[in-house]
Chains A and B, each alone.
Chain A
Amino acid sequence: MIEELFQRFEDRPVAARTRGLCKRFGTQTALDGLEMTVPEGAVYVLVGPNGAGKTTTLRALLDLTVMDDGTAEVFGLPCVERGADVRARIGFVPDSQDFPYGGLSVDALLAHHATYYPAWDESYAGELGRQMAIDGRQRYGGLSKGEARRVQLVMALAHRPPLLLMDEPTDGLDPLAQDRFQALLADHLADTPTTVLISTHRVHEIEGLGDCLGVLRDGRLVAQLERQRLERLVRVRAEVPEGWAGGALLPLPVIRRGGRGREIAWTVWGESAAASAAFADAGATVRQVERLTLEESTRALLAMPEAS
């Protein structure tokens, strides 16, 4: 593994941390020794394909799932032994639509939820409800997927939790509601110092939010780094001679090989200028060196060979 792809954030206060977290469901391995560190104040985007272990990771932090091995902690509190204290500090947006109490009105559900959080801010909840255009008189069970999602967001945000866990938060939201969600979350973060851990496989929908990235593959983090470091992940488009073997001589770690024939598009880890020079030295004619978007970076890291 490229060392620089895995930051341990040891110099920063930690909001959530897992150590050697393992979970198996029958023969399937959901988490395989997960070592994740979410720095305090970060918006940490945990990405990975379906089944990579994202939801299980969030559930481990909430102590909803019993782990086979390893530990998880939130603000230094062990999630199993101090589960109630940990959950009091968390606002949670679950991925599931299977939410209980469909018979209650939205107002009644929010009132019930508020009972559990002494820090619940009633006026803020009302403000959020207005911003999300929530009708409190509606029966919760009768809401559409997107409407229910908005109610869940209010439930997660209104007690201004120090840690916000969001599992596929934009799932079910139409494009307009997604924009509203992003604006609302940005406003919330401006008002309230919060650490956010977002799990998603739709990175493009939260492109502007994340400042830390964790890439989860087969139950393990293959990368964990600040977003600004992703600037070192560049794609080089170049033309190479027939039978080019210069790739093996490149002094830069190759994350992903792409392209066709003599037109190559390789993603490498390094400064743009250094990458350009390295390819030129190896006999390629460099056409373009470009930084990757968050989504492109994620794809590249997910496709990275194990040996890297």
Chain B
Amino acid sequence: MSARQTIHRPPALGSVVRAQLRLILGRRPRAMWIALAIVLAQIVAAATGGILFGITIQSGPDQPTRLFFSKVSDFAGDLDFAIDEGAVAVAVAAIGAFIWAFFWPFRVWRGENPQGRGYHWAMPVGRRTHDLLRVGAGLALLPVLTAILAIVAVATAAAFGHTAVFPGWGVLFWVNLFAGPPLIYLLVSIPVVGSRHPSAWLWGTLGAGVALVSLLHAAGLIRLTEPLFGLLLGRAGLLTTLGGPIVSEIAGWSGRPAAPWALAWLCWLALAAVGVWLAATRRHRSI
């Protein structure tokens, strides 16, 4: 091989990661994604304010109708759920982050045709490595978004004088806030990376699950749905794991041991990571 050819070598992986990050962030983010981010932030802010302080519409002959947050409803009425209002504020941020994490893989792979990522695969990087670097770049950006949503929620609460949102929660509460989105992101990334029809697979799987449960219920075979519900809502179920300490805090289950949740989360995360790895490995994904 000639000396000339030795300068034609694959790029350093660090350069590829930086290129992927730039590509995901985009120099011209689409209006849809900007709008979604604004809407999510508004929902978080409004929901936080509403939940923490209630919403009052005040009007009178001397003043125009005004809508503002005031401490009218604090969930301490007849039904006392022992809800930590600060926890609810961050839970709202978590829901926002979960929703974002669900759609984030589609943003990460924006512009790449799932029918055949010819350009992406033609780059001088190992195909699996390249796919995983793209997924990893998206994953690295998720905590930033989650932090923004959390800051919006906490700042909104603080703006209305609810300073008690800061102290008193265990570390796991915050860990949960940042642990849930990556899990959702990786799970959704599996069909996005490995399938030619990711949306069809994603919605098809969800739809098929709902249809199956409905059919089994209609047929009186409720017991057969238990494994599915166990998978989602059992002690180590997916939704239980996603909810984790946040739900426990809200429901006043602070005494629950953290280790099983952490273990369940790690198991789900490992499962999702293996799924992404396999999706990136599938050799039949050719064009």
Question: Which residues of A pack against B, CB within 8 Å?
Answer: 59, 62-66, 75-76, 83-85, 87-90, 92, 94, 96, 98-105, 108, 112, 115-119, 139, 159, 161-162, 193
Q: Within B1-58, which residues are at the interface with A (CB < 8 Å)?
A: 1-2, 4-5, 7-12, 15-16, 18-19, 22-23, 26-28, 30
Pick the contact of A103 from B4, B8, B111, B123 — CB < 8 Å? B111
Contacts of B12 in A (CB 8 A): 118
Q: Does the CB pair A76–B1 fall under 8 Å?
A: yes
Q: Does the CB pair A89–B122 fall under 8 Å?
A: no
B205 within 8 A of A: no
* Alpha-carbon distance between A211 and B127 when the two chains are bound, in angstroms: 33
Nearest A residue to B130 via CB reads A84
Contacts of A99 in B (CB 8 A): 119
Q: Within B106-122, which residues are at the interface with A (CB < 8 Å)?
A: 110-113, 116-122
Given A62-B121, A63-B121, A105-B27, output 7 extra A-B contacts at Cβ < 8 Å. Answer: A64-B286, A89-B5, A100-B120, A101-B111, A102-B111, A115-B16, A119-B8
Tell whether A115 pairs with B284 under 8 Å between CB atoms, given A76-B1, A161-B8: no
B125 within 8 A of A: yes
Q: Does the CB pair B123–A87 fall under 8 Å?
A: yes
* Alpha-carbon distance between A168 and B110 when the two chains are bound, in angstroms: 27
* Alpha-carbon distance between A68 and B117 when the two chains are bound, in angstroms: 20
Show 5 A/B contacts (Cβ-Cβ < 8 Å), sorted by A.
A62-B122, A89-B8, A115-B19, A118-B9, A119-B9
Contacts of A112 in B (CB 8 A): 19, 22-23
Q: Does the CB pair B124–A162 fall under 8 Å?
A: no
Q: Does the CB pair A116–B19 fall under 8 Å?
A: yes
Q: Does the CB pair B124–A116 fall under 8 Å?
A: yes
Tell whether A64 pairs with B122 under 8 Å between CB atoms, given A76-B1, A115-B15, A118-B11: yes
Measured CB to CB, the closest approach of chain B to A21, in angstroms, equals: 14
Across the A-B interface, give the 6 residue pairs with the lowest CB-CB distance, nearest first.
Answer: A88-B124, A100-B111, A87-B124, A115-B19, A65-B286, A66-B286
* Alpha-carbon distance between A118 and B124 when the two chains are bound, in angstroms: 10
